[in-house]
Chain A
Amino acid sequence: MVKAQVLTGGRGKAGGVKLAASPADARARAEEILGLDIRGHVVGKVWVESASPIAKEYYLSVTFDRGAKKPLLMLTTEGGVEIEEVAATNPDALARVYVDPLVGYQANEGRRLVYGAGIFDPSEQKQVLAIVERLYRCFATEEAMLCEINPLIVTPDGEVKALDAKVTIDDSALYRHADVAAMRDTAAGDPLETFAREKGVTYVHLDGSVGILANGAGLAMSTVDLVVVAGGRPANFCDLGGGGRAEGVVDALEVITRDPQLRSIFFNVFGGLTRGDEVARGILTALERIDISVPIVVRLDGTNAEEGRQILVDANLDQLHVEPTMLAAAQRAVELAR
């Protein structure tokens, strides 16, 4: 088998996994796969292994269960399907065992998992247990949010093997996992999101036409919602951070105005520690430094909001529209995007 090594799922459907009859054939298959674009990820590496005849397909994972605040081991012999579907339609088939994070993995937890999943062949049990232990160790030492083997297969000879895996590492822990951080596929994914990451801007690309800039993640999410309530389609989510510094505003505007679908911008700022008049001056400074062709609707609230709005009105810029409330501003931005 020749398998594309990319940081995304759906390789098989995209033509990234192929069977080869001989070493020469494997070379030909690898040439076909290398360079393929799978969901924005260009294949630069392939994995070559002997093809495995499959007798049984299992599913095994360790997840970070934020609700229980514990690592959760899950195993089912009903592999080959979406795990959420097994959990919903046949919950008894899915064995679940929590690990105490202060104690760490204990062998009895693995045994409970294997028995719970209904695996009774002694050789199979032994092999699965060894994999469970190593998967947990990977989860704990690499600080993963998810370590999933799907499918975990049993060959007709009774050999247990991992055929595919998905691992997600906590972004906040990457500073102490330099080897993992180096694996990030910077060329993959949304080019605007990549550019935003380079600029240090918190940005998620959506598919509409109203650009959104707000300070704080919660307020930014709320702003995205409000544009939809007003009948429009948000072009992005963008969090300026707590303040309203000109520097951050310039970087954020540079990112969101690169979106060719952008028709208007909704600037939603709450002045807390940063006063409204300072925020207004920050916006004007940013607009002096960057050339923007689309109209901008500004909603400013909080400390010194009145002074801030006056500064923006006095600036007398045609493209700048100042609105008093979030909803009015959302409606205006949606209108201007039409």
Chain B
Amino acid sequence: MAIVVDNDTRLVVQGLTGSEGRFHGLRNRSHGTNVVAGVTPGKGGQDVEGIPVFDTVAEAVTQADANTTLIFVPAPFAADAVYEAVDAGIRTVICITEHVPAHEMLRIHPYIRTKGVTMIGPNCPGALSPGKANAGIIPAEVFSPGSIGLVSRSGTLTYQIGYELAQLGLGNSTIVGIGGDPVVGSSFTDILELFEADDETESVVLVGEIGGNEEEKAARFVAERMSKPVYAYIAGFSAPPGKTMGHAGAIISGSAGTAQAKKEALEAAGITVGTTPTEVAQLAARGSLR
């Protein structure tokens, strides 16, 4: 079954005619994703290697049956792109765009929730269900199909862990990069809830980092609501307070959001936290071979 994206995904790419959108849209299609449309206002009627381009998301929904969108439009237009997709009836929104203003997300978040829409990102690598569908910039060739769910705030660190799992002969049900911004559409908890309900997922690896308290909330969720084993890795133990470490959301504010506090919260919930990416992959491997 997998989560977020699967064989039922019918993808529209907002910004398909831009260089990033075109490159990744076509890559996603070559992975077997059903890319049914692109949207670029003013370019309706064109096509990108056979993928029809529409002026509006509404047309992509009514004429190409799109149910999921992948957003590559520049940051000043990204919020508008999300609202357009939601209003057109899209149920799953994946926003890759970085630098979406944080205040936009304060409005987008309650908007998508009231409409029952699942949003991943912004500032994220997207979602990949190996062998089924890839929506975003995750290098699919690194991962193989399997039963471990992977959820993370970062890109390459996740690829590293997925790659190490693959070296150990293990694969993933779905890999979800939830994004590195202070407010994102789906939190760790939202994705853990989907993994818990997914019959293809047997265990989960959570990759967190400094900033905010979503890892702490996830720990509580795992302790109270999850039956599947969860393994974790946290980045940023040596990060100085008050400095943004690459991701807009990766910042220790005062004494809040430290890696140590997150590790302690996760361990208190019975989750084993690996010291290195390699170790967490080994922990998950040992768990799934048991």
Residues of A at the B interface (CB closer than 8 Å) are: 64, 66-67, 69-71, 84, 100-102, 140, 143, 145, 170-173, 175-176, 202, 204, 206, 214-222, 224-229, 234, 237, 239, 242, 270, 272-273, 301-303, 325-327
Q: Across the interface, do B101 and A170 meet the contact criterion of CB distance under 8 Å?
A: yes
Question: 9 closest A-B pairs (Cβ-Cβ)?
Answer: A218-B154, A217-B246, A216-B156, A218-B157, A272-B139, A173-B101, A221-B235, A101-B106, A66-B182
- Which residues of B116-155 have CB atoms within 8 Å of chain A's CB atoms? 137-139, 141-142, 152-155
Q: State in angstroms the CA–CA spacing of A225 and B182 once bound together.
A: 22
Contact pick for B277, options A67, A172, A224, A326, CB 8 Å = A326
Contact pick for A237, options B139, B141, B246, CB 8 Å = B246
Q: Across the interface, do A301 and B160 meet the contact criterion of CB distance under 8 Å?
A: yes
A sample of 15 cross-chain residue pairs with beta-carbon separation below 8 angstroms, ordered by A number, consists of A143-B101, A170-B103, A176-B76, A204-B245, A215-B156, A217-B246, A218-B154, A218-B209, A221-B250, A222-B160, A227-B238, A239-B246, A242-B155, A272-B142, A326-B277
Q: Which residues of A contact B214 (CB under 8 A)?
A: 67
Chain B's closest residue to A303 (CB) is B141
Q: State in angstroms the CA–CA spacing of A234 and B235 once bound together.
A: 14
Instruction: Tell me if B31 counts as interface (CB < 8 A to partner A).
Output: no
A309 to chain B, nearest CB (A): 15
Q: Across the interface, do B157 and A206 meet the contact criterion of CB distance under 8 Å?
A: no
Q: Which residues of B contact A69 (CB under 8 A)?
A: 105-106, 109-110, 183
Q: Which residues of B contact A228 (CB under 8 A)?
A: 237-238
Instruction: Tell me if B83 counts as interface (CB < 8 A to partner A).
Output: no
Q: Across the interface, do A217 and B238 meet the contact criterion of CB distance under 8 Å?
A: no
Q: Across the interface, do B210 and A221 meet the contact criterion of CB distance under 8 Å?
A: yes
Q: Which residues of A contact B102 (CB under 8 A)?
A: 64, 66, 143, 145, 170, 172-173
Q: Which residues of B contact A67 (CB under 8 A)?
A: 212-214, 217
Chain B's closest residue to A272 (CB) is B139
Tell me how many residue pairs across A and B have CB atoms closer than 8 Å.
Answer: 166
A98 to chain B, nearest CB (A): 11
Q: Which residues of A contact B163 (CB under 8 A)?
A: 270, 301-302
- Which residues of B76-100 have CB atoms within 8 Å of chain A's CB atoms? 76, 99-100
**Secondary structure type dominating chain A contacts:** mixed
Chain B's closest residue to A216 (CB) is B156
A215 to chain B, nearest CB (A): 5
Interface centre among A70, A216, A327 (most CB of B within 10 A): A216
Q: State in angstroms the CA–CA spacing of A220 and B247 once bound together.
A: 11
Chain A's closest residue to B74 (CB) is A175
Q: State in angstroms the CA–CA spacing of A212 and B205 once bound together.
A: 26
Q: Across the interface, do B212 and A219 meet the contact criterion of CB distance under 8 Å?
A: no
Q: State in angstroms the CA–CA spacing of A215 and B125 once bound together.
A: 14
Instruction: Tell me if B38 counts as interface (CB < 8 A to partner A).
Output: no
Chain B's closest residue to A142 (CB) is B103
Q: State in angstroms the CA–CA spacing of A163 and B12 once bound together.
A: 53
Q: Across the interface, do B76 and A217 meet the contact criterion of CB distance under 8 Å?
A: no
Instruction: Tell me if B1 counts as interface (CB < 8 A to partner A).
Output: no
Q: State in angstroms the CA–CA spacing of A242 and B182 once bound together.
A: 20
Chain B's closest residue to A226 (CB) is B276
Q: State in angstroms the CA–CA spacing of A272 and B210 once bound together.
A: 24
A70-B106, A302-B159 are known; give 16 further A-B pairs, CB within 8 A. A64-B106, A64-B182, A66-B211, A67-B217, A101-B106, A204-B245, A218-B158, A218-B209, A220-B245, A221-B245, A221-B246, A227-B238, A237-B239, A237-B245, A273-B139, A301-B163
Q: Across the interface, do A303 and B248 meet the contact criterion of CB distance under 8 Å?
A: no
Q: Which residues of B contact A214 (CB under 8 A)?
A: 156
Q: State in angstroms the CA–CA spacing of A272 and B158 once bound together.
A: 11
A328 to chain B, nearest CB (A): 10
Q: State in angstroms the CA–CA spacing of A81 and B114 once bound together.
A: 40
Instruction: Tell me if B32 counts as interface (CB < 8 A to partner A).
Output: no
Q: State in angstroms the CA–CA spacing of A302 and B110 once bound together.
A: 38
Q: State in angstroms the CA–CA spacing of A175 and B155 once bound together.
A: 25
Instruction: Tell me if B255 counts as interface (CB < 8 A to partner A).
Output: yes
Chain A's closest residue to B138 (CB) is A272
Contact pick for B237, options A219, A225, A242, CB 8 Å = A225
Q: Across the interface, do B137 and A175 meet the contact criterion of CB distance under 8 Å?
A: no
Q: Across the interface, do B152 and A218 meet the contact criterion of CB distance under 8 Å?
A: yes
Chain A's closest residue to B152 (CB) is A218
Interface centre among A101, A218, A220, A222 (most CB of B within 10 A): A218
Chain B's closest residue to A208 (CB) is B238
Q: Across the interface, do B109 and A229 meet the contact criterion of CB distance under 8 Å?
A: no
Q: Across the interface, do B106 and A222 meet the contact criterion of CB distance under 8 Å?
A: no
Q: Which residues of A contact B157 (CB under 8 A)?
A: 216, 218-219, 221-222
Q: Across the interface, do A272 and B245 meet the contact criterion of CB distance under 8 Å?
A: no
Q: Which residues of B contact A301 (CB under 8 A)?
A: 160, 163
Q: Which residues of A contact B41 (CB under 8 A)?
A: none
Q: Across the interface, do B103 and A173 meet the contact criterion of CB distance under 8 Å?
A: yes
Chain B's closest residue to A193 (CB) is B243
Contact pick for B154, options A70, A217, A225, CB 8 Å = A217
Q: Which residues of B contact A70 (CB under 8 A)?
A: 106
Q: Which residues of B contact A140 (CB under 8 A)?
A: 103
Q: State in angstroms the CA–CA spacing of A295 and B100 once bound together.
A: 39
Instruction: Tell me if B207 counts as interface (CB < 8 A to partner A).
Output: yes
Q: State in angstroms the CA–CA spacing of A222 and B111 once bound together.
A: 34
Q: State in angstroms the CA–CA spacing of A225 and B237 once bound together.
A: 6
Q: A-facing mask of B29-61, CB < 8 A → 1, else 0?
A: 000000000000000000000000000000000
Q: Across the interface, do B139 and A218 meet the contact criterion of CB distance under 8 Å?
A: no
Q: State in angstroms the CA–CA spacing of A7 and B9 once bound together.
A: 49
Q: Which residues of B contact A102 (CB under 8 A)?
A: 107, 110-111
Chain A's closest residue to B180 (CB) is A217
Q: State in angstroms the CA–CA spacing of A220 and B243 once bound together.
A: 14
Q: Across the interface, do A143 and B154 meet the contact criterion of CB distance under 8 Å?
A: no
